[in-house]
Amino acid sequence: MKLLPVTMFGDKILRKKVDKLEEVDMETIELITNMFDTMHNASGIGLAANQVGVNKAIFIVDLSKVEDYEDSKPIVFINPEIIKYSAEKTVFEEGCLSIPDIRADVERPESITIKYRDTDMKEQSFDANKLLSRVIQHEYDHLRGILFTDLVDDDTKKKLKGPLRKIRKRKIDVSYPISETSDYQLVM
């Protein structure tokens, strides 16, 4: 098990649109395995590659530790694209490993259709709703340089300025490894 440092709010890589993956090699499989270890260690349910300093279009989701989702299987999304959003929207509190100790209500479409490549680079697609839809949208946004704090109302943004400044300056206490500088990037 190798835990990767999680990038924090203010890290440059979190604001970049990531590059598509051309192939899955052993290095990619090792990255994905380490991402799952890192996410589980931090009690997360989703993690994007740029959250561990990798500029690649990969994210993972595992809801199996969430009540009512115990039978769900971990999913690896490579080069994902959400191709349909429902008109119906819901508001739900979100958090993020890159923005520790901050939670806020975010409005998102209730359901989506996503297509992606699996680890064999075979195209897959399915419809997702409720929590799975929300986690996928959250992680998909990461790959586009969007954070959940970008989607909150103006009053909430004002309230978050101080706590976000503390995260940017690394004046936080978390139980998982974090990147040391805002320029952190794992070269792959």
Domains identified in the chain, total number: 1
Domain membership of residue 59 (yes or no) is yes
Residue 186 within a domain: no
pLDDT in tens, 110-150: 999 999 999 999 999 999 999 999 999 999 999 999 999 99
CATH code of residue 41: 3.90.45.10
The pTM (predicted TM-score) of the whole model is: 0.95
Q: Side chain identity at 4, as an amino acid letter? A: L
Is the residue at 105 inside a domain?
yes
Query: Considering the domain boundaries, does residue 177 fall inside one?
Result: no
Give the structural domain span for 117: 12-168
pLDDT digits (tens, 9 = 90+) for 4-25: 999 999 999 999 999 999 999 9
Instruction: Examine residue 61 and state whether it is found in any structural domain, yes or no.
Output: yes
Position 173 in a domain: no
Cα distances (Å, whole numbers) of residue 67 to 21, 63, 70, 131: 33, 9, 6, 11
- As annotated, the active-site residues are 139
Judge whether 176 lies within some domain.
Answer: no
